[in-house]
Amino acid sequence: VGGGLGDFVGKIWRVGLMGCSCTKNHVNMLLAALRRIIK
């Protein structure tokens, strides 16, 4: 997870899920964690 670049600094988060970490389960865990911290 990283911050935005260029015009997007402070506006977005970048999330990288590649290779072995790019599974449906890992994506769902990430989304659940983000939902909890955003509330």
Q: In this predicted structure, what is the pLDDT of residue 1?
A: 85
Please give the Cα distance from 10 to 21 (Å, whole number).
Answer: 26
Q: What is the pLDDT of residues 1-39, one digit of tens each?
A: 899 999 999 999 898 888 987 999 999 999 999 999 988
**Helix segments in 1-39, DSSP class H:** 24-38
Query: What backbone torsions phi and psi does residue 22 show, to the nearest 5 degrees?
Result: -90, 75
The number of residues in the chain equals 39
Cα–Cα distance between 17 and 10 in angstroms, integer?
A: 21
Confidence at residue 4, expressed as pLDDT on a 0 to 100 scale? 94
Instruction: With beta carbons less than 8 A apart as the criterion, state whether 27 and 16 touch.
Output: no
